[in-house]
Chains A and B, each alone.
Chain A
Amino acid sequence: MRSSGVGRWSGPLSERKRRGCPDQRECRRQPPCAPVWQAALAGLVRVLSCAGFLLVAGALAAAPPARLTLWQGFKFSEVPMLRRNVDEFVAEYRQRTGREVVIEIGQVPFSDMVKRLKSAALARQMPDMAIIDANSMVQLAFGGVALPLDTLPNFPAASIDELRARYVPGAFDTNVITFKGERHLYGLPAQTTTLALFWNKGMFRAKAKELREAGLDPERAPRDWDEVVRYGKVLTEPSKNLYGFGMNNSFWFSMPFYNQYGVEIVRRNEAGLLEAAFRGPRAEAAVNRRVGLYREHGIEGGAWREGALDPDQGFLNQRYAMILVGPWQIENFRSSGLDFGVALVPRVPLAEAKALGLVPPDADENSTAVHALSASNIGGQNIMVSTSSKHPDIALEFALHFTSEKVQRAWAEELGQIPILLAAQQNLKLDKFPEVPVFIEQINLAKPLPALPYGGVLETEIVNPEMNLVLQGRQTAAQALERICAQIERRVLKPVNDAEMAARAEIRAKTPSGN
């Protein structure tokens, strides 16, 4: 670089001769003997360059900040924490990159989020990010509004599976969606929930004598479904509207039964296409176990009916001694002065598990395989980045910040949430929320709903009505499962498989012949 500079200063040989330089070599080392006007011009150019540089630098410094919008449906008690996280991110981002970011938070009712996003997409008013129901993620991916995060240049891992190892697997999996034959990550888990068993300690104590007489400990929750029945029979008094158990008929709330019995809802066949798998002895056993609590044993208070006292309200009113519910109700129950405990979802009884081949024949009560039978379901919310975002890289950085260990620890310790990052689940200070460790244990045994489009149809139009008929005693479990499978095939899977076949045909058509 330096030599070229000298050359530039030295100028052509003829010019040096013309200026009368005595020694041409010496002249090469000397600054040019330019006339005054040339020097002035050069000076002017330098001044202008400096001024231009300062102008550009100033303009850059005054550039408008990157503006992003975030729609969320958190509870009002959680929003201050979210605002704090946003402020921390903005400050940290400014310090790291020197760039200003503004994140505007929009409050949308949780249950309306998908509808609002649909309207927003039509009106070209999509937010850059949205925190949505984990089970709705697949709709957004298929609708082309959720950006595959693994395609962004600042994706923080070499592969989706590498990133998965850091998170609660079930919660993470709700974001991994196969779309037109391609598997991508469409979001990150932002908040996760699962169901656990809530039991009313006061109601148990009120029947302590009877429970002891039945050989049961009134100071603990039942561990398997046979125990639930035994406890329930002591606790149930229909004449006083008191029941041992209250359950919801929704598919999502029933998933712990199906997960425990190792039931698949759909699976991929040898051709790689989806097929309904919600049938067979295990599925029938799961349905019969659930329905039997109401029909056979009479310990369920009819909370599954739309017009009855629902499980949460019944638990609050001390009508149902045990229910399956998530951590979102802890504060509600606590503020009502209810004396309650939280335990793992009761599991399949060991003998039944062995008979169904769910555990090895030599498994005992303390084995890991038996512990894993307490499987529950996965809910919660994911954070997605919109395909119309002008700053998807910043949005991804915010999503990663929100799921970082520091933030997740704060959500657990200050709000009693289940951390979605595995590292954040260790050494938590949970003095205010003694129930959270149970939920952490439960979430790691949980499995999500299958990631299918038309998930709403699956739940409200297919499974719930059929199960309602079983609970009414108007059809058997086997009949219901056959009808459910037929409808899943026709209304949910056929469109997906047709689309996948079309996508494969398209890929084949693009592939050069002979390959």
Chain B
Amino acid sequence: MPNQPRRTRRLTADALWGYIFIAPFVVVAAVFLVFPIGYSFYLSLRETTLYSSWYNQFSDMVWMGAGNYVSLLTSKVFWYSLLATFLYAALLIPLSLAASLSLALVLNNQRLPGYQALRSAFFLPHVFDVFVVGIIWLLLFNSTSGPFASLFEALGITWFKVHGFLDNPVTVLPSIAFAMVLKGMGFGMVLFIVALHNIPESIFEAADIDGASPAQKLFRVTIPLLRPMILFLVVTSLMGVLNGFTEFYAMTRATGGPSVSFLGETVQAGRVSGLHLYRLFDESFYGHAAAMSFILLVIALLITAVNFKLLGDRSQ
């Protein structure tokens, strides 16, 4: 094998060029991704004190070790924030999927007059800023003068007029989920329409020949074939819910909404993990906030791993 040393040299040179080409991206990633993550972890092991100098806030922190993690994991407010997040996810994701899929099935019918305009109209809220949408919904849900409370009152239901939508611990999460479903369903609709287009027509023709009813075609053919898209939307929505903050900030005026008693501790009903993290950061508890972000990262990684497993099994 006389050529082998020469080939190795050529490979090494190729590899070198490869490294040179990716070097700028590695540097950028190291500076803006790896270092902040590492530094955040370092911060999660420290905490500011009452006398931490504002000139050296991050270097003037005291060593806590795992103290911040222990403190969080023994905090009822933290556990409530996780519970609220998963409750919100349980409300938002199925509703969002159902609404998106329904819209996609209806607007996939190209014989429907104005279907393109309707698609645009339903997609439009997705491009608006979450904060702006949240403020609009805050006005719509106003219990004193909002249209929803008045509508229910006109229908003889005065409960919302008295207790409100965002003012009540029972309804605050469903109300926010409802607003976000309406905002996000246009995006899901577009993805489902694309997925529907990818289903071969021959499968539906075969179902027709077999005498399948429309409902059977939907539940036995369409939905099973849309499962990869459904799983994709579930994964991305879960990540979105774990990072959910702006809608809660806007619609509860940054407080988390009405109070509720949870295992003897008073917490705000709409205090999801993203909002709790923000409050910790806002009150300058940087160590706790960093520790919480790592706990959320672990949860997000676990959820992603489970979903990848499901997606992987399905594709095989």
Question: CB within 8 Å of B: which residues of A?
Answer: 117-118, 121-122, 124, 140, 142-145, 180, 241, 301-303, 305-309, 314, 317, 319, 388, 453-454, 456-457, 460-461, 464-466, 468-469, 472, 474-475, 483, 495-496, 499
Contact B54 A118 (CB under 8 A): yes
Contact B145 A317 (CB under 8 A): yes
* Contact partners of A457 in chain B: CB under 8 A: 283
Identity of the chain B residue whose Cβ is nearest the Cβ of A317 in the assembled complex: B145
Q: Which of A302, A317, A388 contacts B164 (CB 8 A)?
A: A302
Identity of the chain A residue whose Cβ is nearest the Cβ of B164 in the assembled complex: A307
Q: Which of A117, A143, A180, A465 contacts B259 (CB 8 A)?
A: A465
Give Cα A398 to B52, complex, Å: 29
* Contact partners of B138 in chain A: CB under 8 A: 307
Contact A302 B55 (CB under 8 A): no
* Contact partners of B164 in chain A: CB under 8 A: 302, 305, 307-308
Contact A306 B257 (CB under 8 A): yes
Give Cα A140 to B267, complex, Å: 28
Contact A466 B142 (CB under 8 A): no
B143 at the interface (CB under 8 A from A): yes
* Contact partners of B282 in chain A: CB under 8 A: 456
Please judge, given known A-B contacts A305-B143, A461-B283, whether A468 and B53 are in contact too, CB under 8 Å: no
CB distance from B232 to the nearest CB of A (A): 34
Contact A143 B261 (CB under 8 A): no
Q: Which of A305, A483, A499 contacts B258 (CB 8 A)?
A: A305
CB distance from B237 to the nearest CB of A (A): 25
Please judge, given known A-B contacts A305-B164, A456-B283, A496-B50, whether A468 and B259 are in contact too, CB under 8 Å: yes
Interchain residue pairs with CB less than 8 A apart (7): A143-B53, A143-B54, A306-B166, A307-B257, A453-B50, A457-B283, A466-B266
Contact A469 B283 (CB under 8 A): no
Contact B252 A306 (CB under 8 A): yes
Q: Which of A122, A466, A483 contacts B55 (CB 8 A)?
A: A122
Give Cα A324 to B194, complex, Å: 56
Give Cα A292 to B251, complex, Å: 27
* From B50, B268, B282, B283, residue with most partner A Cβ within 10 Å: B50
Contact B55 A388 (CB under 8 A): yes
CB distance from A300 to the nearest CB of B (A): 12
* From A140, A306, A388, residue with most partner B Cβ within 10 Å: A306
Contact B261 A474 (CB under 8 A): yes
CB distance from A77 to the nearest CB of B (A): 25
B216 at the interface (CB under 8 A from A): no
Please judge, given known A-B contacts A122-B54, A456-B283, A483-B266, whether A307 and B49 are in contact too, CB under 8 Å: no
Contact A469 B54 (CB under 8 A): no
CB distance from B179 to the nearest CB of A (A): 12
Contact A465 B166 (CB under 8 A): no
CB distance from B43 to the nearest CB of A (A): 14
B192 at the interface (CB under 8 A from A): no
Please give 14 more A-B residue pairs, beta carbons under 8 A apart, in addition to A143-B53, A454-B283, A469-B266.
A144-B54, A145-B54, A305-B143, A307-B138, A307-B141, A307-B142, A307-B143, A307-B166, A307-B251, A453-B50, A461-B283, A465-B266, A466-B259, A499-B49
Please judge, given known A-B contacts A456-B282, A461-B283, A474-B261, whether A121 and B141 are in contact too, CB under 8 Å: no
7 shortest interchain CB distances as A-B pairs? A307-B166, A305-B167, A121-B54, A143-B54, A309-B144, A468-B259, A307-B167
Q: Which of B56, B167, B260 contacts A308 (CB 8 A)?
A: B167
Contact A121 B255 (CB under 8 A): no
The digit string for B54-65, where 1 denotes a CB below 8 A from any CB of A, is: 111110000000
Q: Which of A117, A301, A317 contacts B54 (CB 8 A)?
A: A117
CB distance from A10 to the nearest CB of B (A): 62
* From B143, B165, B259, B268, residue with most partner A Cβ within 10 Å: B259
* Contact partners of B258 in chain A: CB under 8 A: 305-306, 468, 472
Give Cα A303 to B145, complex, Å: 11
CB distance from A390 to the nearest CB of B (A): 15
Please judge, given known A-B contacts A121-B54, A142-B51, A495-B49, whether A306 and B145 are in contact too, CB under 8 Å: no
B253 at the interface (CB under 8 A from A): yes
Identity of the chain B residue whose Cβ is nearest the Cβ of A502 in the assembled complex: B51
The digit string for B260-304, where 1 denotes a CB below 8 A from any CB of A, is: 110000111000000000010011100000000000000000000
Contact A122 B266 (CB under 8 A): no
* Contact partners of B260 in chain A: CB under 8 A: 469
Give Cα A143 to B284, complex, Å: 11
Identity of the chain B residue whose Cβ is nearest the Cβ of A144 in the assembled complex: B53
CB distance from B258 to the nearest CB of A (A): 6
Q: Which of B58, B144, B255 contacts A301 (CB 8 A)?
A: B144
* Contact partners of B51 in chain A: CB under 8 A: 142, 144, 180, 499
Identity of the chain B residue whose Cβ is nearest the Cβ of A314 in the assembled complex: B144
Contact B255 A306 (CB under 8 A): yes
Give Cα A314 to B144, complex, Å: 9
* Contact partners of A118 in chain B: CB under 8 A: 54, 57, 284
* Contact partners of B165 in chain A: CB under 8 A: 307
* Contact partners of B167 in chain A: CB under 8 A: 302, 305-308
CB distance from A331 to the nearest CB of B (A): 23
Q: Which of B49, B144, B261 contacts A475 (CB 8 A)?
A: B261
Give Cα A459 to B251, complex, Å: 19
Give Cα A515 to B1, complex, Å: 92
CB distance from B255 to the nearest CB of A (A): 6
Contact A302 B54 (CB under 8 A): no
The digit string for B236-259, where 1 denotes a CB below 8 A from any CB of A, is: 000000000000000111010111
Please judge, given known A-B contacts A144-B54, A461-B279, A465-B268, whether A302 and B259 are in contact too, CB under 8 Å: no
* Contact partners of A305 in chain B: CB under 8 A: 143, 164, 166-167, 258
CB distance from B76 to the nearest CB of A (A): 12
Q: Which of A241, A464, A466, A468 contacts B144 (CB 8 A)?
A: A241
* Contact partners of A469 in chain B: CB under 8 A: 259-261, 266
CB distance from B300 to the nearest CB of A (A): 26
CB contact list, B21-47 vs A, under 8 A: none
Give Cα A483 to B279, complex, Å: 20
* Contact partners of A140 in chain B: CB under 8 A: 54
Identity of the chain A residue whose Cβ is nearest the Cβ of B270 in the assembled complex: A306
Give Cα A319 to B146, complex, Å: 13
Contact A241 B52 (CB under 8 A): no
Give Cα A319 to B145, complex, Å: 10
Give Cα A466 to B264, complex, Å: 12
